[in-house]
Amino acid sequence: MKSEKILVLLDSKNNENLLNLSVSLAKNDKSTLYFMYVVEVPHKYPIEYEIGNQISLGENLLKEANNFLSKKRLEYDINSENFILVQSRNAGVATIKESKRINSDTIIFSKNSNNEDYKYSYIKKYSEVNIIELINNN
CATH of the domain at 29: 3.40.50.620
**What's the structural domain count of the chain?**
1
Q: Give the domain range for residue 44.
A: 5-136
Mean pLDDT within 17-27: 92
Query: What pairs with residue 112 in β-bridges?
Result: 136
What is the helix (H) or strand (E) element at residue 130, kind and residue range?
A: strand 130-136
Alpha helices in 1-138 (DSSP H): 16-29, 52-71, 91-102, 118-126
DSSP state of 35: E
DSSP code of residue 82: T
User: In the predicted model, what is the mean pLDDT of residues 104-129?
Assistant: 88
More confident residue, 9 or 12: 9
- Separation between Cα atoms, residue 22 and residue 35, nearest integer Å: 10
